[in-house]
Amino acid sequence: MAKSSAGSAYRCSECGWQAPKWVGRCGECQAWGTIEEAGVPRLIRAGVRGVGPGPVSTPAVPIGDVDARAASARPTGMDELDRVLGGGLVPGAVLLLAGEPGVGKSTLLLEAAALVAGSRTVLYVTGEESAAQVRLRADRIGAVSDHLYLAAETDLAAVLGHVETVRPDLLIVDSVQTISAGGVDGVPGGVTQVREVSAALMAAAKERALATILVGHVTKDGSIAGPRTLEHMVDVVLNFEGDRHSQLRMVRAVKNRYGPTDEVGCFDLGEYGLIGLPDPSGLFLSQRSEPVPGTCVTVTLEGRRPLVAEVQTLVGPSVLDMPRRVTSGLDGSRVGMVLAVLQRHADIRLGRQDVYAATVGGVRLTEPSVDLALALALASSTSNLSMPAGVIAIGEVGLAGEVRRVSGIPRRLAEAERMGFRRAIVPAGGGLSPGGAGPARERDQGRNGSPTALPGSDGGPSGLLEVREVEDVRHAIAAALAD
């Protein structure tokens, strides 16, 4: 036992967590039975003090002498994807795209590969499907190009051989969990294999200035499968999200060394592939000629992009000892908090009522700015009074009944005005002018429901949006349900 402890360590096969001795449960991911014995690296056994200076690959130069043009982004041709990437793909960058099974990762990358192949060479390596299956999908979505090369491989050496032969400008590996390296312990998709395969592909990408996209699986809790170090090693990490019952798909940047991480790309998944949605707000609104009780529209921020979305609620007497609280697309805990605030501070009795709350279009709203719209929708459904057409509500509701300010109010109001809304209910002092907070006189006059005017998004005198600032949820309900 002493020999084993001195010459080896123990590592979790799920997350890569290491321990000096065997334990039954991983201390990082809390998984049972995943701790396996692994050899200690020779460098650690020898001690780092024995390492001396060695040859360098390139000499160090002053930062002002470095040519930055080599790291300029090249557009892929998909505007929504380029928006998230910060302009396009950077030569030598390694990108990790993760998403749930069936969300459309392969379709997205195959379309992007065909667009890039219009002017450059692309190598698409598939380890999950045969080449014939990928060709069928390419025919369906129109992604066939003479400069798009396809290889069905699961061996790392074969993949690197294809790279040497084709010499592509873009390499796509779908997925990294299916590729295995010979001479490395572990099964394909395990921590050791994923680490070694990713390291080899990254080395090839940096050496050849080859833009590389790796597709990664996700676990049942939504995190990226494999070692956590993989996310630290790559340059860009993207999440591809979407409800399987909705056609909306979103690409969100989690990490980006070459661009912003607060941009979101929106796509419509149809029979013939993915279509970019530069203006997706209309997808999240119901099409009705007349207002109905229990609905309220808000503007949420997905990264930098404002999206107009609708919240719907239904309140009715319960026949059960414990009334139902059902949510779809909303955070259930925040819905429960808003219910408690309405009962305590707005005298709306919901204790014996069934409450159903949902969003339109399959969008998921978790931002606190949705609280006020949810509260107004619940008040509207309980009183059976419809909110006037063209009204939006933005704000966070606190436990004391106050309406708190949220970020990006001018941007949200500009989007609401562009979509045709003419009255907005916002927190007091939230900043009414597009450049920041408005004059104190305008904010005071607009408190607790009295209107002020917001200059239109075009900066002209026409197209004014009526803004009503409120300090608490009770005044917000009065301002919303007033004619």
Mean pLDDT of the chain: 85
| Count of positions (residues) in the chain | 483
Most confident of 3-7, 53-57, 289-293: 289-293
Q: Strands of 236-241's sheet, edge to edge?
A: 148-152, 122-126, 170-174, 211-216, 94-99, 236-241, 248-256, 264-270, 273-276
More confident residue, 430 or 205: 205
* Residue 450 pLDDT: 53
Q: What is the pLDDT of residues 161-214, one digit of tens each?
A: 999 999 999 999 998 999 999 888 778 887 788 888 999 999 999 999 999 999
Q: Which residue has the tokens 């609905």?
A: 295
* Residue 112 pLDDT: 95
Q: How far apart are CA 297 and CA 243, in angstroms?
A: 21
Residue 250 confidence (pLDDT) above 50: yes
Q: Mean per-residue pLDDT for 274-278?
A: 89
Packing angle between helix 473-481 and helix 371-383, nearest 10 degrees? Answer: 60
* Residue 421 pLDDT: 92
* Percent of the chain with pLDDT strictly greater than 90: 54
CA atoms within 13 A of residue 399's CA, in its CB half-sphere: 3
* Residue 51 pLDDT: 59
Residue 99 confidence (pLDDT) above 70: yes
* Residue 461 pLDDT: 31
Q: What is the pLDDT of residues 121-142, one digit of tens each?
A: 999 999 999 999 999 999 999 9
More confident residue, 86 or 460: 86
| DSSP 8-state code for residue 346 | S
Using DSSP's 3-state secondary structure scheme, residue 316 falls into strand
Q: Which residue has the tokens 């921020």?
A: 301
* Residue 5 pLDDT: 41
| Helix, strand counts (H, E) of the chain | 13, 22
Out of 65-69, 129-133, 475-479, least confident range: 65-69
* Residue 259 pLDDT: 86
* Residue 30 pLDDT: 81
What CATH class is the domain 73-278?
Answer: alpha beta
**Which CATH architecture is the domain 283-481 placed in?**
2-Layer Sandwich (3.30)
| DSSP 8-state code for residue 405 | -
What are the domain boundaries of the chain? 2-46, 73-278, 283-481
- CA angle (306 as vertex; 303, 308 as ends), nearest 5: 135
Residue 337 has φ and ψ, to the nearest 5°, of -65, -45
Residue 151 confidence (pLDDT) above 70: yes
pTM as predicted: 0.76
* Percent of the chain with pLDDT strictly greater than 70: 86
Q: What is the pLDDT of residues 206-223, one digit of tens each?
A: 999 999 999 988 876 667
Q: Give the pLDDT band of residue 377 (cuts 50, 70, 90).
A: very high
